[in-house]
Amino acid sequence: MAQNLFRLISAIGALSLRIVGGVITEAGKVALFFTESVRLIFAKPSRFPEVIRHMEFVGNQSVAIICLTGVFTGLALSFQLYLGFKLFNAVNMVGPTVALGITRELGPVLTGLIVAARAGGAMAARLGTMRVNEQIDALDVMGVNTKQYLISPRLVAAVICMPLLVAVFDFVAMMGSYFLCVKLVQLDEAVFWQKIADFIEVKHINEGLFKGMVFGVYFATVCTYRGFNTTGGAKGVGDATNQGVVQSMVGIIILDYFVTNLIRFYYNIMGIS
């Protein structure tokens, strides 16, 4: 009995070690892939036209979906807070509460999730298809540095576009909030804006933009890594896309907690209240 229990515990221990070891190895590979891609951003020849092409895809083509999601997030959040704050007669605080929530949390996180699903998924699928169709091998044997040509521009595009998309999301969500508070539930317009101005500082907006940038680096790295290292045929492309999107989305939510703490830590050591 005791021997069986001991065997079970050893098996669980061995399995846990294997899983943890696998995760650490994979994280190391992703980190190497990322550092190499970052180094190649500054290598010659310049890939500026590629960066612009990917910015158009990651940024421009995401604006419509970001606006749509942003406006309804602003509307729904404002309505919920209005219903809650009305219970203890604090409806004037709906504006700043929505503004704080949107700029610091919901703006970057929702933008990250949407863009990771849209652009990140497309990145993984595109690179995976290129891999299984030998297009990446063709680039390799043509003397093209494939990471510099395919990965670095996508990383740069995501890093530049994400804060801009977060800003768009913030603005549109606040317009949604304004519409609900002022036009639908008839709160005082001047009070709505004044309260936002009283509570919101530039640092809150910057915090969200910074998070957006971090999420951009994260999903672009994960999705390009998955796509670039696709093996197998169509199934491999599907798996790579699935893994890229799922790991990006889950990772963004986990990362959000740590980045929030990191920012608090930074504020503390800099003496920012």
Partner 1 sequence: MATESAVSLRDVKKSFDGGKEFVLKGINLEIPKGSLTAIIGFSGTGKSVMLKHLLGLFKPTSGTIEVLGTDISTLSPDELTKFRCHFGVLFQSAALFDDMTVIENVCFPLFEHRRDLPESQVLRIAEEKLQQVGLDSKHFNKLPSQISGGMQKRTGLARALALDPEILIYDEPTTGLDPILTEMVDNLILDTHKLRADTTSIMVSHDLAAAFRIADHIAMLDSGRVLLFGTPEDFFNTDIELVKKFVNKGMKHQ
Buried b (16+ CB within 10 A) or exposed e, 86-103: eeeeebeebbbbbbbbbb
Tokens found for residue 140: 């390799």
141 binds partner 1 (CB under 8 A): yes
Minimum CB separation from partner 1 for residue 27, in Å? 23
Judged by CB under 8 A, the stretch of 69-77, 139-147, 186-194, 208-216 that binds partner 1 is: 139-147
Amino acid (1-letter code) at residue 130: M
Of residues 2 and 142, the one with the C-beta less far from partner 1: 142
Tokens found for residue 54: 């990917």
Buried b (16+ CB within 10 A) or exposed e, 228-250: bebeeeeebbebbbebbbebbbe
Tokens found for residue 2: 């005791």
56 binds partner 1 (CB under 8 A): no
What is the per-residue binding string for partner 1 in 145-164, x denoting contact by CB under 8 A? x-------------------
111/16 Cα distance (integer angstroms)? 34
Tokens found for residue 213: 């940038």
Place of tokens 């004037």: 92
Ranges within 29-48 binding partner 1 (CB under 8 A): 45
Judged by CB under 8 A, the stretch of 25-33, 97-105, 138-146, 176-184 that binds partner 1 is: 138-146
23/29 Cα distance (integer angstroms)? 10
**E-strand stretches of 157-235:** none
What is the per-residue binding string for partner 1 in 96-135, x denoting contact by CB under 8 A? -------------------------------------xxx
Of residues 87 and 142, the one with the C-beta less far from partner 1: 142
Minimum CB separation from partner 1 for residue 26, in Å? 19
Asked if residues 195 and 92 have their Cβ atoms less than 8 Å apart, the reply is yes
Asked if residues 155 and 41 have their Cβ atoms less than 8 Å apart, the reply is yes
142 binds partner 1 (CB under 8 A): yes
CB count within 10 Å of CB 6 equals 10
Minimum CB separation from partner 1 for residue 49, in Å? 10
Q: Cα–chain-centroid distance for residue 15?
A: 31
Of residues 143 and 271, the one with the C-beta less far from partner 1: 143
Minimum CB separation from partner 1 for residue 15, in Å? 23
61 binds partner 1 (CB under 8 A): no
What is the per-residue binding string for partner 1 in 219-248, x denoting contact by CB under 8 A? ------------------------------
- Triad 158, 161, 162: Cα angle to 5°: 80
Minimum CB separation from partner 1 for residue 247, in Å? 26
Ranges within 177-216 binding partner 1 (CB under 8 A): none
**Binding residues for partner 1, how many (CB under 8 A)?**
12
- Interface with partner 1 (CB under 8 A): 45, 133-135, 137-138, 140-145
